[in-house]
Amino acid sequence: MANIKELRTKKGLTQQQLADETGITLRTIQRIENGEVNPSLHSLNNLSRVLNTDLSILNQKEETKPYEFNFTFKITDMNQFLTDLKILVKNHWKIITLIVLIVWLATSYTEIKAGIMDGWNGK
């Protein structure tokens, strides 16, 4: 997205400085600026905050054909995804574990209740 690079350079930031201030990896910043990936809403929000601009300006895309899809995957894309996933799990493992536990309890409620009732009644 050329407008992100333009706003970054106007503000006098290097890609590394922008990465540090937004919490987005340097490689992801490079890939966003080169048009290799589309930033997530979370990334756009962080970029708009640091670049002091409206979110809609960052989200402007070049005109594309309707129903145009790009399914090109690169090894570097998958490596970056796995790196980002590792960081997410490392930083938020307690919350992820709690969510998994809650989902498991919610989906297993009837079996858990039946087991407790059987144990209570001595079966």
Average pLDDT score over residue span 99-107 = 94
What span, in angstroms and rounded, lies between the C-alpha atoms of 93 and 86? 10
- Give the global pTM: 0.48
Domain shared by 17 and 44, yes or no = yes
User: pLDDT-derived band of residue 73, with 50, 70 and 90 as boundaries?
Assistant: low
Total of domains in the chain: 2
Q: Is it the case that residue 38 has pLDDT exceeding 70?
A: yes
Q: What domain range is 6 assigned to?
A: 1-72
Average pLDDT score over residue span 29-43 = 87
Domain shared by 55 and 81, yes or no = no
Q: Is it the case that residue 29 has pLDDT exceeding 70?
A: yes
Print the SS3 string covering 34-87: CCCCCCCHHHHHHHHHHCCCCHHHHCCCCCCCCCCCCCCCCHHHHHHHHHHHHH
Q: Which residue has the higher pLDDT, 81 or 54?
A: 81
